[in-house]
Amino acid sequence: MGKSIGILTINIGKNGITDTVISEINDILRKYKSVKIKFLQSAPERKNPKPAIEKIATSCKAKITKRVGFIAILGKN
């Protein structure tokens, strides 16, 4: 049986969206073309994640492929 390769996940916690988080997301998008972003309960953006996800997508020049609650998948061509 082969292993299934899943999408890499970035968890955003109490420090919120930082330059380091954006840089890490950019690196993952360059290498794998998609990334899953999850806002943990401690994340300040968790109560209203939509603008935060849009900010990340804009900063990374990526497209929001899917968004459900506090989880989003970004993709890059």
- Check which CATH number belongs to the domain holding 16 and give it: 3.30.110.60
Q: Where in the sequence is the domain holding 18, given as residue range(s)?
A: 9-75
pLDDT digits 0-9 by tens, 5-16: 678 999 999 999
Phi, psi of 7 (to 5 degrees): -80, 140
Tell me the average pLDDT of the chain. Answer: 92
Dist. CA 43–CA 49, nearest whole Å: 9
Within-domain flag for 36: yes
Q: Give the total number of structural domains in the chain.
A: 1
Rounded to an integer, the average pLDDT of 33-43 is 96
pLDDT digits 0-9 by tens, 50-74: 999 999 999 999 999 999 999 999 9
| Length, in residues, of the chain | 77
- What angle separates helix 19-32 from helix 49-59, to the nearest 10 degrees? 60
